[in-house]
Amino acid sequence: MNGRQVAAFAPAKINLALHVTGQRDDGYHLLDSLVMFADVGDTVRLSDAPEMSLEVTGPRAAGVPADRRNLCWKAAEAYGCAVAMTLDKHLPAAAGIGGGSSDAAAVLRAMEELYGRPAPVDPVTLGADVPVCMVGHAARMSGIGDHVLPLFMAPMYAVLVNPGVEVPTPAVFKALSRKDNPPMSEMPEGGGQAAALDWLGAQRNDLQDPAIALQPVIGDVLAALAELAGARLVRMSGSGATCFALFDDRPAADAAAAQMQQARPGWWSAACTLR
């Protein structure tokens, strides 16, 4: 038995834009999404063990299953080895920032490091966001999430806010009125951050309106983010309820997050750098 412990960071996944461009016969939706990853997230630690186990710790551990319902457990099972896992949970669950998917990708990456061979499983079988989470940095995601094109992008600076309501992804997709929306427009190749922000402003999250219809508080979060000094762009991530605002630099994002924490102590919020 290999007694080594391996740790892997599971960053929050942010959909800077998320266009729903169609629907397959099996019900899954076709997406076109620009994804980046934050420096806030969960951490998984694992070591080889005679049988599978999972302990969930950290500030967001409450309510997170510590058994085979957890995607970490499913990922380890799919890899095919028994491990003792600890999941240090910092991200809100069912929040549109890929908490469970990023945790599963971190488990697969940690197991690849521990056992020295690639995961014998197609990550999309664990969830549509798991392939992009395996990349873990800026990427364009298409298909149902199974096509991932890694991108070189300058870092972005954001404040993330979640109002504490869980939004079930299938319900949001179901509430979507049009499923054949246009894809993202051509991304600018130069022009720095200003061009990137202009381009992003012209893109959408097609799940934002249906998510607000299901959970109107998401509209309040977007309004509160838009009020923050220096906010350049405000949008929802994934199927919600987490929303983000983008800022010119990290100090502006840090100041805005402090302002948000004071104004809305009941909401989860964090400043972050996206890569």
Residues with active-site annotation: 13, 129
DSSP symbol at 205:
B
Pairing of strands 139-143, 29-48: antiparallel
In this complex, which beta carbon is closest to ligand C5P, that of residue 156 or of residue 210? Answer: 210
| C-alpha of 78 from chain center | 21
In this complex, which beta carbon is closest to ligand C5P, that of residue 142 or of residue 203? Answer: 142
Those residues whose C-beta lies under 8 Å from the C-beta of residue 128, and which sit 6 or more positions away, are: 28, 31, 101, 144, 145, 146
Of the listed pieces 111-119, 124-132, 179-187, 217-225, which binds ligand C5P according to CB under 6 A?
Answer: 124-132
32 forms part of the interface with ligand C5P (CB under 6 A)? no
Judged by CB under 6 A, which of 5, 22, 29, 255 binds ligand C5P? 29
Residue 168 falls in which region: left (phi positive, over 0), alpha (psi -120 to 50) or beta: beta
181 forms part of the interface with ligand C5P (CB under 6 A)? no
- Is it true that the peptide bond before 241 is cis, omega within 30 degrees of 0? yes
Residue 212 beta carbon to ligand C5P: minimum distance, rounded to whole angstroms: 18
144 forms part of the interface with ligand C5P (CB under 6 A)? yes
Those residues whose C-beta lies under 8 Å from the C-beta of residue 23, and which sit 6 or more positions away, are: 29, 30, 179
41 forms part of the interface with ligand C5P (CB under 6 A)? no
Q: Output the six-digit token pair for 73.
A: 């457990």
Q: CA dist 84 to 64, 71, 128, Å?
A: 17, 14, 25
127 forms part of the interface with ligand C5P (CB under 6 A)? yes
In this complex, which beta carbon is closest to ligand C5P, that of residue 176 or of residue 274? Answer: 176
Residue 67 beta carbon to ligand C5P: minimum distance, rounded to whole angstroms: 18
Residue 60 beta carbon to ligand C5P: minimum distance, rounded to whole angstroms: 19
Maximum alpha-carbon separation in the chain: 55
170 forms part of the interface with ligand C5P (CB under 6 A)? yes
Residue 220 beta carbon to ligand C5P: minimum distance, rounded to whole angstroms: 24
Pairing of strands 53-57, 83-88: parallel
Sequence-separated contacts (24+) of 167-171 with Cβ below 8 Å: 167/94, 167/95, 167/96, 167/211, 167/214, 167/215, 167/218, 167/239, 167/240, 167/241, 168/94, 169/94, 169/238, 169/239, 171/214
129 forms part of the interface with ligand C5P (CB under 6 A)? yes
Report how far apart the first and last C-alpha atoms of the chain are (Å, whole number). 36
Of the listed pieces 33-41, 82-90, 165-173, 192-200, which binds ligand C5P according to CB under 6 A?
Answer: 165-173
Of the listed pieces 25-33, 55-63, 202-210, 243-251, which binds ligand C5P according to CB under 6 A?
Answer: 25-33
173 forms part of the interface with ligand C5P (CB under 6 A)? yes
169 forms part of the interface with ligand C5P (CB under 6 A)? yes
Judged by CB under 6 A, which of 64, 110, 128, 200 binds ligand C5P? 128
- Residues contributing to the site for ligand C5P (CB under 6 A): 28-29, 31, 127-129, 144-145, 169-170, 173
